[in-house]
Amino acid sequence: MRTRQLASLLALGVHLAGCNAVLGLEELPVDAGDDATNEDATSDVVDTSVDTTVGDTAADGAVDTGTTDAADAGDAADAKDASDAADANDASDASDASDAADGADVASDAADSSFDTDPCSGVLCNAPPASTCTDSKTRHVFASTGTCSGGSCTYGASDVACTSQACVGGACVGSCSPGAKRCNANVPQTCDSSGVWQGATACSNQTCIDGVCQGVCGPGQKSCVLTQGKTCDATGNWLTTDLSAPKWTKTYGTTADESIALGGGLVATSDGDFQMVGPSVIGTTTSTYAVKVGPDGTKRWDKTQPNVAAYALGALSDGTIGCGQIGKPNLGCTSNRSCGYCVRYALDGTVTWEKAYNAAGGDIQQFYGVATSPTGFVAVGDTTDTDAFLDGFARGFDLAGVAGFTTSFPQTREDNLDVVRRAADGSYWAGGYIGAWSACQQAYVVHFNAGGTKIAEKGLGPCINNTSGSGDRAAVYDVLPLSDGSVIVVGVQWVSSAVNSEAFIAKWTNFDTSPTEAWRKTFGGAGDDEFWRLEPLADGYVAVGQTLPGRFGASAADAWVVKVGLDGTLVWSKTYGGTGDDKAASLVRAADGSYLIAGHTSSSGAGGKDFWLMNVPIACP
């Protein structure tokens, strides 16, 4: 009886395995789990498929393989398994095994007639083939479930278009605008007509810029990418440097409060060094502090001159000229409130001469900007020479400090000139403001020749209502004349009580004949922001100034450096400073192509405010 049950189960196991193992598009083997080396396939089927309700199985569903059970038909059928037979040479046992096998055949036939013979019975068609590509823009996708027929599964399929992408390996990939370029790990890539990035060979001894390999990298060669400077090292590899990160910073000063001159307080000297100048205040006493440093910021000398204030500095072939104001009776000043003042320094810091210049009206004269020439210099500022209000004016001098021309540029109400530059043709450009204490204060630029004769002038930008004489203002703090008759200006303009003032940079064309504003860009946030100095770059301009908390700054007031393109568009903006009052007001180019930026800081230094000097790459050298 036991051998018949086992034979039936053997046949049932083979039948079920042949049905249930069918998956996918192709028909799989009856028992995919069988080891091909098994010598008794029937025994294997019994091991994996036998009904656990049969009396001679263990509790866990495995067939009872006890070696003393000589009646076990499955074990006896395997004549090669010595452990299953009590004695392989026992003829009686062999006869029993033969009888068991015969019984199994009968049981199997009976089992076949009592079970469903559908080959798809129990088959789950849920393993579709992987998607394929019909073409470069079409994905062939199979349904997640299929149908079984004859023991095999088939799956429906449909084509899906890869919009703005391409079909690669059965998937839609890529997403870009055809014709666009980019760099990926220094590999230039171009977006093809299918919207897929196509990579080329990596730039070996070049650098990828805008999707194109550019510049041959040989030892010592250099290149630039936006705000990053790339230097080629000795092995031909590009090294990246942040162009806005200072190489070094230093402070200079005394126990007093030193502030850098705002009309250009830093110049490069003829011997390769740099000099700074500005007012130094302690209590009610104002002095001039001057310091000279080497290219690495090392101090050469410094000195303090009492009872005078220098607001601007210009370079000569053998020294410098500083100009500002002085009070009576110092150096013979007789003006009621102040006289103009200039001092000439030798390269070693020796004062060659210093002089006071009285106001023609006997009240005020003071200089805020200076520009030098091979034969002398021009100082600009404000004076009460012509009426009760301050007027912007310019005064010419020879190298000995002897005054030449004096030209006033009176407008409506109070006016002032803050800066002057000498153009390549020998003429001068000055900037400041007009109309303070009126309903229309404006930024202002005037162009005059070497003899002080006015060539052209223009109020720039919108009017600011400043009838109260408050801090609401608009002014030009630096001018940069171009060879084509255009001028680039920077400064400050009042926006509203909510925004306060913003820094601006603007370009005016055809200034001498028909001044036209080509473009104007403003920068700033909720605080007061201003640009004080401007220098040209090969690909734009760099401006320095100060920003209060808002869009750019984070502390009480930060020094501020902004790089713009040739059309004034912002390239990058960087603030510098600590928790105190920090300002950048002047910059000059060093011999290595980097820039020295001068200002003052109360975040660090000897005490109070001190001169502050940074060396910043800014442009790729």
Asked whether residue 483 is assigned to any structural domain, the reply reads yes
Tokens of 328: 């009576």
256/391 same-domain check: yes
Three-state SS letters, 514-538: CCEEEEEEEECCCCCEEEEEEEEEC
pTM of the model: 0.65
190/339 same-domain check: no
Q: What is the DSSP letter of 21?
A: T
Tokens of 429: 């450009």
362/500 same-domain check: yes
The whole-angstrom separation of Cα 321 and Cα 373 is 11
Report the number of distinct structural domains present in the chain: 4
Asked whether residue 119 is assigned to any structural domain, the reply reads no
The whole-angstrom separation of Cα 473 and Cα 495 is 9
Q: Cα angle vertex 518, ends 513, 521, to 5°?
A: 135
236/381 same-domain check: no
The owner of tokens 């479930």 is 145
Asked whether residue 282 is assigned to any structural domain, the reply reads yes
| Alpha-carbon torsion (105, 108, 113, 116), positive or negative | negative
96/185 same-domain check: no
The owner of tokens 């070049």 is 206
Residues 6 or more apart whose Cβ sits within 8 Å of residue 529: 492, 500, 501, 502, 503, 523, 545, 546, 547, 548, 550, 552, 560
CATH number, position 540: 2.130.10.10
The whole-angstrom separation of Cα 332 and Cα 231 is 56
Asked whether residue 125 is assigned to any structural domain, the reply reads no
Asked whether residue 106 is assigned to any structural domain, the reply reads yes
Asked whether residue 455 is assigned to any structural domain, the reply reads yes
Asked whether residue 122 is assigned to any structural domain, the reply reads no
Nearest alpha-carbon partner for 50 in 65, 39, 38: 65
Q: What is the DSSP string of 399-457?
A: TT--EEEEEE---SSEEEEEEEEE-TTS-EEEEEEEEETSS-EEEEEEEE-TTS-EEEE
Per-residue pLDDT at 32: 36
441/293 same-domain check: yes
Residue 608: Cβ within 10 Å count? 19
Contact 251, 611 (CB under 8 A): yes
Which amino acid belongs to residue 361? G
Contact 256, 610 (CB under 8 A): no
Which range marks the domain in which residue 470 is found? 248-616
Q: How far apart are the first and last CA of the chain?
A: 100
481/559 same-domain check: yes
Model confidence over 66-79: pLDDT tens digits? 333 433 433 433 43
259/355 same-domain check: yes
Contact 491, 543 (CB under 8 A): no
Model confidence over 97-153: pLDDT tens digits? 344 344 444 344 444 444 557 888 888 899 999 999 998 788 999 999 999 998 899
The owner of tokens 């750019």 is 552
Q: Flag residues of the chain having pLDDT under 70.
A: 1-116, 164, 174, 205-207, 209-210, 214-239, 385-388, 468-472, 495-499, 549-555, 605-607, 620-621
233/164 same-domain check: no
280/362 same-domain check: yes
The whole-angstrom separation of Cα 382 and Cα 389 is 10
The whole-angstrom separation of Cα 276 and Cα 266 is 5
Q: What is the DSSP string of 255-289?
A: SSEE---TTT-EEE-TTS-EEEEEEEEETTEEEEE
Per-residue pLDDT at 90: 41
Per-residue pLDDT at 217: 59
Asked whether residue 298 is assigned to any structural domain, the reply reads yes
185/238 same-domain check: yes
277/238 same-domain check: no
